[in-house]
Structure 1
């Protein structure tokens, strides 16, 4: 709940209490005092004008009854106001979550169709891979606000790394990043087990925002690969292995061919819930790459 709402709620509560206090003082102190004073001069006033005396006395009595009857119980009114605002906030969050889930569901139905189309193609080099990656990640990147809550001015990136058997490194095939991202020049390559990219590849496990400092330190790149902006730009990340997660009786575990990585400078940006979409995408990419029978020597020879 925003600071503006709480400030407004406090003002409303203070106003209700002030009004309630004023009504109580008027109905229990001021009006009875006026009535007592007025009746104290009843003899003299009746001689002057009886209608005016009784009319004013009745008016004061009615005013006292009305103020006492319609006095606001401010604690309950304040609680009702806050509860209504909380329900409104929850409804807004539910609507946002529904939009995210609807968009994600649409993609989970769309990607299999794209996968079948890509399976018919022959990959001839890095250009074909980049085209496929760009097409499949376009709805994720363009819908980053709905899927992950990424906002304008945030430092974010989405990258696909493919393992090059010739160099033994994870090399970037495709990348999209925010205009304010501090990185420049070629994207880094990673050895298996180095940084969150290499760790996800080596373990064949999804790694999302480690919550403790000790584990975070393990995810940092070696000093010779570190960049000054690493800690600031990569406060949140989700690294998902491409392949390596399924088994079959004939071939055993499928090979892990790369890693899909999403990063942000906002802590906690990625979680198990919204990373589900990335895991589904990584699984689809693994199927595309497997069916295409990628030869890393052919993929990298054009570079």
Structure 2
């Protein structure tokens, strides 16, 4: 196995920390981009919201993975927090892409995290990487976020855009909030439960990113979601079966809108996203089914 030097932004997040564990366990050298003063030789300071990064910190890196960004589901979407969500992604990506374009030699691949939120509300319609972007805050953010990676691509760096779905994991994200509720027997469908959720097991998310790093022939957008999206009602039933708990407490749409504000549109919205390009590239999911993904978590 070829040992590589890999820079990871967002290394302390749900996906980033799992990716770093996977890479280091295989002997790769990982440099973590951090906001604080570096405490060790493997840390590089940057300020993603202000777009500040010294390219020297990335010198010698063959791979750069950007998973940084203020948490979309961490708090209610005030105007101020929406600005932070935007700036941490768009300005951070632009700073990284510009830095990579200036390096000689340049990294061989830039993997820039994006989200299935790009497609917006899709109803029952199946969407893949060729489908157009939706409208609204998240779709428009994702379009701008992906466009910010252009300087790296234009400089000849192979650039991959990972449009990640809802990650099934206990340690964070949407499922990090669901597990305690369902474990306590308080889980239930959200709204009418007919909206599609496109999910992916954390193990498969990390494996897919590594697959995209390793394959020199792959670039552009890839949906990182399990092959068959399910409705919220189906996922609710699966959570109950796996955790052996009743799912008797549906959350009405008006309550979600009151509690979550604008973010409720994401929970009540339907996104039937499939990973066509990932499957065509030969990637094999370890946990394609929802019950397998929940058990893995």
Indicate whether the TM-score tops 0.5.
no
Q: Shorter-chain TM-score: which interval?
A: under 0.3
TM-score (norm 1): 0.26
Task: Judging by fraction of residues, say which structure has more strand.
Answer: 2
TM-score, scaled relative to structure 2 = 0.26
